[in-house]
Amino acid sequence: MALWFTENQSENVRFSFRVKEQLFHGKSNYQMLDYYDSYEFGRVMVLDNIIMLTEKDEFIYHEMIVHPAFMVNPNIKRVLIIGGGDGGTLREVLKHNVSEPELVDIDDLVLKTAPKFIPFTGKALEDPRAKVMAADGIEYMKTKSNEYDLIIIDSTDPISVGEGLFTKEFYKNCFNALKEDGILINQAESPFYYEKQFLNIYEKLNSIFPIFSFYSAPVPTYGSGYWMFGFASKKYHPLNDFKADSFDLSTMKYYNTDIHKAAFVMPNFVKNLLKR
Amino acid sequence: MALWFTENQSENVRFSFRVKEQLFHGKSNYQMLDYYDSYEFGRVMVLDNIIMLTEKDEFIYHEMIVHPAFMVNPNIKRVLIIGGGDGGTLREVLKHNVSEPELVDIDDLVLKTAPKFIPFTGKALEDPRAKVMAADGIEYMKTKSNEYDLIIIDSTDPISVGEGLFTKEFYKNCFNALKEDGILINQAESPFYYEKQFLNIYEKLNSIFPIFSFYSAPVPTYGSGYWMFGFASKKYHPLNDFKADSFDLSTMKYYNTDIHKAAFVMPNFVKNLLKR
């Protein structure tokens, strides 16, 4: 067997895994979509040749993009996910007692294929408790005001399709769409390869929200493996308002209460980056 | 430019970086040694086609393999490094007020070339305060008893040359070579790809030392990027005996007092692995 998938993590770094079988190849109006079955990582979803998730490590990313916010405000009911068409973030949101979570992903092809090719995340998209829409998150957000307890931006990288989900205007619309104690979580790239994008997120969100912190988790199949999330909040502080006993976390595979606190700790090189 | 170095991180995963120039290629009695200059990672040292360190991220590994022990016992004076022929661990040890630290690396070729090709770590090998020996660490350890405050096993992976540095017999000799309040630190692989090796380290060290914990750090150029260290100790507990004000940490690039505490936090999947 000599079939390999290769991602260019940067111009000068490549990450490859051995493929059992290409399960699907398609092109939507927005991007190229591939599903693979792999030896090391199980099923893998790829957009425009960038790994979006693998069966082996998606639990880290999806637990970490969802649960910290709920442990800070256990009363979150109204949730909006922008992107996240693979269904993993929605699956984790549905572990909480929420009221019809909404998911808006621009790419209908992703939404239609994920339940079949990556059912471990994709079948959440068919859950009758959720409202899943194929629509432009940027436009959708312009119509909303004072509505959500939690918005999660589960986007691709800030290039091509995902670019508009990293602008100041979009973040301001998210701010307006949140209630007065609302929280915004976004996937925030890595400070190791993508320093500029990382700082860009910081400058924008930090200027709009009264409370902003990064938190980190290891995601082995993302560039550098050292991945960041942004926690932007109108009222609740991610550590001072942390409520350790809010939920039963025993079924989590990555997240626990100590991990919550540890994830917000930043090493000196990141602190120094943010000081500049 | 189309020169790429590729490491097989596992049978089914490859990691590649673009090379500016191969600076050195040699073969010792023990292993193949290469130095590269790369676009993304600066200088890189490679043993038997496995990345040992890169100029860009070695600071994380070397700070984390050295400083946590000193912050738990600030009175560490006698230090032995097994392996670590690149000099990075020694460089960090020499930031403390220690008494002639010893470094025993089996491969003279590594010790002779590191100061030239990777001076940012290698020049520590020429520091007159240190005693650097080209010798077999396994044999060296058999001759020592009740001598060291700290032993650091800065080895290659538990295959080929490094294998003997992961045996129960070797760990017992380390135990004997340590003083009654001694600490042993080792590089402990990753639970993501190398689950078996990781558990192997746990079972052995945990059965010999009264106190044992893993701690983690992100090392982007090691397999999975999620790397572990073992903290094995006769007396001091890594968190209960942590002395936050022992040293000025302002020049550290990764490590700080909050990172110390966060590094010892384990996610559920690692806790569950260790319970089995």
* Helix pair B168-177, B195-208: axis angle to 10 deg: 40
Question: Could you tell me the two tokens for A96?
Answer: 């909480």
Residue A192 in this model has a pLDDT that exceeds 80: yes
pLDDT band (50, 70, 90) for residue B1: low
Name the percent of chain B lying above pLDDT 90. Answer: 94
Interface test with A, best of B92, B254, B258 (most A CBs within 10 A): B258
Mean pLDDT, rounded, for B13-33: 98
> Taking an 8 Å Cβ-Cβ cutoff, which residues of chain B contact chain A?
4, 6, 10-18, 38-40, 57, 59-60, 192-193, 216, 218, 220, 224-226, 249, 252-256, 258-259, 261-263, 265, 267-269, 271-272
Name the percent of chain A lying above pLDDT 90. Answer: 94
CA distance B216 to B273: 15
| CA nearest to A14 within chain B | B16
- The residue among B68, B144, B132 whose CA lies nearest residue B106 is B132
Residue B260 in this model has a pLDDT that exceeds 70: yes
Residue A90: what pLDDT? 98
Q: Contact, B175 vs B164, CB < 8 A?
A: no
Mean pLDDT, rounded, for A176-193: 96
pLDDT digits (tens, 9 = 90+) for B209-258: 999 999 999 999 999 999 999 999 999 999 999 999 999 999 999 999 99
- The residue among A266, A153, A156 whose CA lies nearest residue A216 is A266
Residue B208: what pLDDT? 98
Q: Which residues of B touch A18 (CB under 8 A)?
A: 11-13
Q: Contact, A204 vs A171, CB < 8 A?
A: yes
- The residue among B37, B33, B42 whose CA lies nearest residue B20 is B37
Cα–Cα distances in Å, from A228 out to A215, A261, A265, B274?
6, 14, 11, 26
Residue A276 in this model has a pLDDT that exceeds 90: no
Residue B155: what pLDDT? 93
Tell me which of A58-62, B61-65, B155-159 is least confident. Answer: B155-159
> Cα B162 vs. chain centroid, distance in angstroms?
12
Residue B122: what pLDDT? 98
pLDDT digits (tens, 9 = 90+) for B188-211: 999 998 888 999 999 999 999 999
Interface test with A, best of B3, B21, B37, B40 (most A CBs within 10 A): B40
Residue B19 in this model has a pLDDT that exceeds 80: yes
A39, A193, A256 ranked by CB distance to B267: nearest: A256
pLDDT band (50, 70, 90) for residue B33: very high
Residue A1 in this model has a pLDDT that exceeds 70: no
Question: Could you tell me the two tokens for B173?
Answer: 């000799």
Q: Contact, A26 vs A39, CB < 8 A?
A: no
Q: Contact, A176 vs A146, CB < 8 A?
A: yes
* Helix pair A195-208, A268-275: axis angle to 10 deg: 60
Mean pLDDT, rounded, for B178-186: 98
Mean pLDDT, rounded, for A19-26: 98
Residue A159 in this model has a pLDDT that exceeds 80: no
CA distance A123 to A127: 7
**A265 with B252: Cβ contact below 8 A:** no
pLDDT band (50, 70, 90) for residue B11: very high
Residue A163 in this model has a pLDDT that exceeds 90: no
B11, B16, B256 ranked by CB distance to A268: nearest: B256
Write the CB contacts of A58 (distance below 8 Å, at least 6 apart in sequence).
Answer: A86, A88, A120, A121
- Per the prediction, chain A carries an average pLDDT of 96
pLDDT band (50, 70, 90) for residue A148: very high
Residue B184: what pLDDT? 98
pLDDT digits (tens, 9 = 90+) for A97-126: 999 999 999 999 999 999 999 999 999 999
Phi, psi (rounded to 5 degrees) for B247: -140, 155
Q: Contact, B212 vs B230, CB < 8 A?
A: yes
Write the CB contacts of A112 (distance below 8 Å, at least 6 apart in sequence).
Answer: none
Residue B141: what pLDDT? 96
- ipTM comes to 0.96
Name the percent of chain B lying above pLDDT 70. Answer: 100
Residue B219: what pLDDT? 98
B13, B59, B267 ranked by CB distance to A254: nearest: B267
Mean pLDDT, rounded, for B93-114: 98
pLDDT digits (tens, 9 = 90+) for B110-157: 999 999 999 999 999 999 999 999 999 999 999 999 999 999 999 998
Residue A130: what pLDDT? 98
